[in-house]
Structure 1
Amino acid sequence: MNDLIAAYEKRSTESNPALDSSVPEQFPVDWSCCVETSKGHCLLVLVLRALTSGSQSGRSASTPSQPCLIVANTHLYFHPTGDEIRMLQAMAIRHHVFMVREETQSANNAPVSVIIAGDINQDSKGPAYEILLGNAVTTDSLKHSVLAPPECPHREFQMRPTYVIESPQFTNWVPDFHAPLDVILYDAHSGLRCTHTYPLCSAEEITRLALENTRNVTDEEKPPYRGQPVSECDVYALPNRAFPSDHLALIADFQWPSAKEDRWNANSSLSRNS
């Protein structure tokens, strides 16, 4: 990890014409500034434990306690060609969450499940997404990179996406750009199950709702559209009067296995391995 950071800091002081020429005008190409700015992006981690109806005072150290849930939320760096920065951020996130998971399991003698969510500013073809899942990073996902594809930390710690978002679906829509940039990932091997996800709105549905919310608004009251002029298809891009954010919400329901299911899974595992 330290070698990767050192290599990227060296990259930030050098010019890369192939990469710099692909950066839209509104984004900076001062990579030393980008590296410093990205350090302000953080990770929030919360450890939750299921409530129990009985007293735990008589529980011995060897008796399993109620299951725990680790919820981590992040916002990765925004720059359109900052894949290397986001990859390093994802590796740090993955390592930290894994260590919290290990410490929680050891301290509570309980099953621990993990959810990682947030705006990763990258679609499912990018290296940060692959790292967060626990997959290997390919050279195809690191365009114009000076870094060799790194080894994903803690490969045994596998995550699964709740949403598989295919074009033309998106979670972010602004003039001249739309893409699935947000994720909810979970540790399915712990027994945690995603039982339901809330459907994403289409551009047509967003436009219809925005029109309904502006029907009785005068031209003077309408806010100017960001990035004017915009194409006709982007007139109601996010945010608008119906959607206050430039990102759509991802909503998922999860369920822990019951004690009965835990016993069934243990027996099933034994029968398959015997």
Structure 2
Amino acid sequence: MLLSLVPCFRNQSCSFVIINNLILPNKPHFNSLKYLSNFALRHRYNMNVAYFRQLPNEEQCSISFHLINEKYKINKIFNFCRNVTENIDASADRMRANIEKEVKKRTNRKKKPQKVTTEEPIKTDIPEEVIVRFFDTENKQDVKDMPFSELLNRIRNNKEILLKVLENNFLINFNSPTVQAINLPHSILAGFYVYPSKLELLFAEKEHSSFQWYRGKMPKSKNAEQIEWQLIGEGFSHLVTSNDVGYHLKFVCIPKTLQETGASSEVISNGEIEAGPGQCPFEVRHLFTQNKLANQFQFRVVTYNILADLYADSDYSRNELFGYCSNYALHIDYRKQLFIKELLGYNADIICLQEVDKKVFNMDLQPVLRMKSFEGFFKAKGNTAEGLATFFDVNRFEALDSQGITIGECLETLETFQDLWNQIKTNEKLAARIKERSTAVSVTLLRCRQNPLKHLLVANTHFYFHPDADHIRLLQGGFSMLYVRDIYERFERELQLDRAHFAIIFCGDFNSTPECGMFRLMTERFVGDELADWQSNEEEAVRGVTLAQPFMFQSACGCPKFTNYTVGFQACIDYIYYQCDSLRVNDVVPLPSEEELMAYDAIPSPVFPSDHIALVASFEWAQKS
């Protein structure tokens, strides 16, 4: 389909995009419709539909049709853009003038000079006037003298209108389901899920569209048209097997709504399927989570810093920070295959993620997890292109509310922050530093579907990382708990919730070891002004400040030796805090051994997609109802 023609992927040699069974090389000059028309001529690409498209809230209507007329030697895709307030007679005249230019150009090209006699006029194939008109097939008459918007309204009301150009008739197809863009990832590994790295639909819904996966061997001639394709799966994602190694993949999308089906679009992988890295340590951990928890009073939680591509894809990361990791294993197309499979294998009910690129949330996590009955919320860290993501299984929970803040942006405006803010704002360097941080906190209120009395407030965060910032992190902890407490008490009051059936789960990368004040604040509920953390930066030292929070928290996974393991730093900095007076821990999935973490010096590595380790714990309500 013409309107779905887009670059699908890029590599150093060549790749392909397929529109209605026409295989087109994906090279820059093929993005030119003029070049495409010549290419289509050689491949007998035909089209008897005129595609009209008007996007919501736009006054322009785009028109595209492929005119093939042997008499006048025309094979060209014409594209027009007309204002919907314009009279259709003026639109037809503009289209006629452009087509007439093409007719004259084609019929005059390469003609040999002819002898002229006074007796006979010169014969020419040029028509006196190119005819462009709109025709109502029901009333069998031309449509004239009306705004373009009225013509579109008639088409919307199922009036069959033809566009007539020369001797050609085009059925007008208005806003049909269309594939706007379709890509496959650069890296496709056996043993992992594959899905489009980009899929944009217009006037279609993904949940109603159809998807198929094919595999085929590239012939020695390297001619993609000669590939024999074998159907191997259906659905948005596909689990690639070892039997697929060495094959190319083809993904087919048929865009649909409940009422209408559009033209299919296809894309072929630019490389062959490769063997996976072998057994990853997280697959051993999956042995402890082979099934979803069946007990209605239990639920499983995962927290995981998945390492944003924003921080992995830089010269500093590749050469310095993660210099021990092969470049291919740092590429997001490689890593996301691993962390998607890892997350799915934990069979969790709640997933809290940190360092989530907005594009990874939209194009990877949300579409794939949605196919597994998850819904999710994203909270950006200020203006940063990464943030927090909280997912929950819609079969187990119903989301009643989701919100979040960037702490630094709310210090002067959020009422619950004012007492603590007033104690530190006179230290200008300290105040400036904490205000400039993009640290965010998100909260999601969930109600258990099987036990509607049970409610969870799931908080998610990622604190500031700098080595001299224990005082900043402790203050961020104080502000976070003020925010969480305020939200908790408001929901408790408004929904009249019983605290025995209303619990907090607070997950995140706190960048604080168990020896730091943040851990003490959460587990002991108070930190005094004598704490060494307050003095971690002498110019920004915090004096005379104490912090308290009212909830009885414990760390579900205790204090493992490592949750973050790089060459330059190894420590426990990730936690699942839970209210131990409302919940109890049933089990914790064992963490990888240090030998596994050191197999490639450190992580990330070909078998670990992040520099952090996922924490996984199962909980049960202390009081059943």
TM-score by length of 2: 0.30
CA deviations on 1:238-261 (whole Å, 9 max, x unpaired) are 11111110100111111113536x
- Quick check: 2:474–2:533 contact (8 Å CA) kept in 1? no
CA deviations on 1:197-256 (whole Å, 9 max, x unpaired) are 111112202334xxxxxxxxxxxxxxxxxxxxxxxxxx5211111111010011111111
SS of equivalent residue, structure 2 residue 615: coil
SS of equivalent residue, structure 1 residue 117: strand
- Quick check: 1:171–1:247 contact (8 Å CA) kept in 2? yes
Q: Indicate yes or no: 2:607 matched with 1:188.
A: no
Query: What residue in structure 2 maps to residue 62 of structure 1?
Result: none
User: Which one of 21, 27, 48 corresponds to residue 446 of structure 2?
Assistant: 48
User: Which one of 571, 576, 598 corresponds to residue 179 of structure 1?
Assistant: 571
Query: What residue in structure 2 maps to residue 112 of structure 1?
Result: 502
Shift of 1:7: 4.3
Distance 2:518 2:441 in 1: 14
Distance 1:3 1:185, change over 3 A: same
SS of equivalent residue, structure 1 residue 96: helix
SS of equivalent residue, structure 1 residue 259: coil
Query: What residue in structure 2 maps to residue 92 of structure 1?
Result: 479
More deviation, 44-53/109-118 = 44-53
- Quick check: 2:507–2:576 contact (8 Å CA) kept in 1? yes
Q: What RMSD, in angstroms, separates the aligned Cα atoms of the two structures? A: 2.2
Query: What residue in structure 1 maps to residue 602 of structure 2?
Result: 237
Percent of pairs with identical residues: 28
Q: Indicate yes or no: 2:430 matched with 1:35.
A: no
CA deviations on 1:138-175 (whole Å, 9 max, x unpaired) are 42343445213632233x32211112225xx2011111
Distance 2:522 2:544 in 1: 14
Correspondence list, 1:62-141, <5 A: 66-110=453-497, 111-133=501-523, 134-137=525-528, 138-141=530-533
Matched pairs, number: 198
Distance 2:544 2:602 in 1: 35
What is the one-letter code of the residue matched to 2:491? Answer: T
Query: What residue in structure 1 maps to residue 554 of structure 2?
Result: 160
Structure number with greater Rg is 2
What is the one-letter code of the residue matched to 1:151? Answer: T
Shift of 1:86: 0.7
Distance 1:6 1:41 in 2: 18
SS of equivalent residue, structure 1 residue 73: strand
* Structure with a larger share of its residues in helix: 1
What is the one-letter code of the residue matched to 2:585? Answer: C
Distance 1:251 1:238, change over 3 A: same
Distance 1:52 1:178, change over 3 A: closer
Query: What residue in structure 1 maps to residue 421 of structure 2?
Result: 2
User: Which one of 581, 592, 598 corresponds to residue 201 of structure 1?
Assistant: 592
Unaligned runs of 5+ in 1: 13-31, 54-64, 209-234, 261-274
Distance 1:158 1:253 in 2: 18
Distance 1:136 1:72 in 2: 21
Distance 2:567 2:490 in 1: 45
TM-score by length of 1: 0.65
Distance 1:89 1:35 in 2: 8
Distance 2:470 2:586 in 1: 32
Query: What residue in structure 1 maps to residue 139 of structure 2?
Result: none
SS of equivalent residue, structure 1 residue 194: strand
Q: Indicate yes or no: 2:625 matched with 1:246.
A: no
Distance 2:584 2:604 in 1: 32
What is the one-letter code of the residue matched to 2:527? Answer: A
Shift of 1:52: 4.4
Distance 2:460 2:592 in 1: 23
Distance 1:68 1:86 in 2: 28
Shift of 1:96: 1.0
Distance 1:196 1:104 in 2: 29
SS of equivalent residue, structure 2 residue 526: coil
Q: Indicate yes or no: 2:534 matched with 1:142.
A: yes
Shift of 1:46: 0.4
CA deviations on 1:109-163 (whole Å, 9 max, x unpaired) are 2231001110011101112222233232442343445213632233x32211112
What is the one-letter code of the residue matched to 1:197? Answer: V
Unaligned runs of 5+ in 2: 1-419
What is the one-letter code of the residue matched to 1:35? Answer: I
What is the one-letter code of the residue matched to 2:546? Answer: E
Runs of 4+ displaced beyond 6 Å = none
CA deviations on 1:93-113 (whole Å, 9 max, x unpaired) are 101111111112212222310
Distance 1:36 1:94, change over 3 A: closer
Higher relative contact order (CA 8 A, sep 6+): 1
Shift of 1:8: 4.5
SS of equivalent residue, structure 1 residue 121: coil
What is the one-letter code of the residue matched to 1:153? Answer: A
